[in-house]
Structure 1
Amino acid sequence: MNGTLYGVGVGPGDPELLTLKAMRLIREADAIAVPAKEKEESVAYRIVRQAYPEIQEKNVLAIEMPMTKDKEKLAASHRLGAELLEKELSAGKNVVFLTLGDPTVYSTYLYIHRLVGADGFPTEIVSGIPSFCAVAARMNMGLVEKADLLHVIPSSYPVETALQLPGTRVLMKAGKKMGEVKTQLQKLSCEVSMIENCGMENEKIYTSVDEIPEDAGYYSLIIVKEPEGGRK
């Protein structure tokens, strides 16, 4: 009998935000998979290690997931990753693939999830705390109320049009495009806040667009809200 692949969300950074289900599956897993060249490079692995040091004793599969938009390179890496996982699954082992935040939100895990499932292996997604929910909670504010709309925007792509949408806008994965994103935000009369590395030791909080550094790290999330009283 084949094993099951579990895509497990570990939350945005604070190990105390790991769910009970995530912790149970990690403890019970025959093998752990992480999206990295080496396991220690994986932020998700380091988050779990704080809550469950015994993970260091488990068989950990490091699956390289290159940061590129090259479709051929991505397809090749996803297929290779799927094959590595399927070797374990074919041996009847259950594998937990750790992913930051929630596996359903811009997660590279999903590509491998679909490949493994299409090859006939059982798969399951286990939710984690989404980063934008954790950031709003850390800022002690709500995301949306009443009829407010919520837009989750991948800001590694052009954001100018998306920023014109009404309601609350969440900007994820700005990365190297933070300077461009900041320029667009400065054109708006909105309330802007950002957390870099939410829940981690090197967490930084910014409460206005002017405070946001253009060299902010990859794990930075921006929340853009309408000003009190709506748009002007």
Structure 2
Amino acid sequence: MVGKLYGLGVGPGDPELLTLKALRRIKESEIIAVPGKKKEESVAYKIARQAYPQIENKEVLPIDFPMTKDSERLEESHRLGASQIAEKLREGKSVAFLTLGDPTVYATYLYVHKRILAMGFEAEIVSGITSFCAVAARLNIGLVEKAEPLHVIPASYQIEEALKLPGTKVLMKAGKKIGQVREELLRRGETVVMIENCGMEGEQIYRSAQEIPDDAGYYSLIIAKEKGE
């Protein structure tokens, strides 16, 4: 009998936002897969450990995903990650892959998920609370109202055209381009709020584009609205 893969969203940072279903799958799974070279470096693992300290007693399978846009390196890392997980599944073990936020939103896990399914194994996604919903709640504001649309934008790519869209814009994963993103938001005169490390140690709130620092961390999320919204 082969095992099954579970892609678990552990939420944006606050361990109390880990869902009951995700927690149950963590408890039931024999293997915990985490992104990174070792579990101590995985933010998702640290979140899960705060909610369930006994996770330390489980076998952990680190899956190394390089932070790069090099398509060949990414393809190879996805192939190797899926191969490592498939080996455990063939042994009849269930694997819980921990991912920050929700596995369906810009998650590297999806590349492994699709490969595992293509190899004939079972794989199931367990939703987690998204970072942008957690940020809006932390700021005590709404994301959208009435007919207002919501746009989720990967900010490390070209954002100029996306920012012209009506409604609320969520900018994620700006990375090293955070300075360029800030300048474009200032140019457009958007109403901006940003949280760095929402629900985690070192959380910082910035309530205008002017306040956004050049060295903002990777886990920074911006909510932008047109003036007057």
TM tier relative to shorter chain: over 0.9
Instruction: In structure 1, give the amino acid aligned to 2:189.
Output: S
Q: Partner residue of 1:195?
A: 195
Task: Give the match for residue 209 of structure 1.
Answer: 209
The separation in 2 between residues aligned to 1:201 and 1:178, in whole angstroms, is 20
Instruction: Kindly provide the amino acid, as one letter, of the partner of residue 42 in structure 1.
Output: S
- Letter of the aligned partner of 2:83 in structure 1? E
**1:78 paired residue number:** 78
2:33 corresponds in structure 1 to: 33
Cα separation, 1, equivalents of 2:156 and 2:35: 19
State the partner residue of 2:15: 15
Pairwise CA distance, 1:68:
0.7
CA deviations 1:65-124 (Å, max 9, x no partner) are 001111111111111111110111001111000000000000000000000110000000
The CA deviation string for residues 168-222 of structure 1, in whole angstroms up to 9 with x for no partner, is 0000000100011011000122210000000001100000111110110000000
1: distance between equivalents of 2:90 and 2:127? 25
Question: The residue matched to 2:187 in structure 1 has which SS?
Answer: coil
Aligned-residue RMSD, C-alpha: 0.7
2:134 aligns with: 134
Give, in angstroms, the shift of residue 42 of structure 1. Answer: 0.3
Which amino acid is 2:150 matched to?
A: L
Q: Which residue of 2 aligns with 1:161?
A: 161
1:148 aligns with 2:164: no
Q: Distance in 2 between matches of 1:206 and 1:72?
A: 37
Amino acid at match of 1:188: R
1:225 CA displacement:
1.2
For residue 53 of structure 2, what is the aligned residue in structure 1?
A: 53
Deviation at 1:226?
2.2
TM-score if structure 1 supplies the norm length? Answer: 0.97
The alignment partner of 2:188 has SS state of coil
TM-score after normalising by structure 2 = 0.99
Give the AA of the match of 2:136.
A
Deviation by residue 1:6-36 (Cα, 9 ceiling, x = unmatched): 0000000000000000000001111000010
The aligned counterpart of 1:107 is: 107
Give the structure 2 partner of residue 171 of structure 1: 171
Q: Secondary structure at the match of 2:116?
A: helix
Give, in angstroms, the shift of residue 227 of structure 1: 2.4
**What secondary structure does 1:186 align onto?**
helix
Instruction: State the secondary structure of the residue aligned to 2:151.
Output: strand
| Partner of residue 224, structure 1 | 224
Question: What are the Cα deviations for residues 30-75 of structure 1, in whole angstroms up to 9, with x where unaligned?
Answer: 1000010011000000011111111111000000000111111111
The aligned residue for residue 66 of structure 1 is 66
Q: Which amino acid aligns with 1:174?
A: A
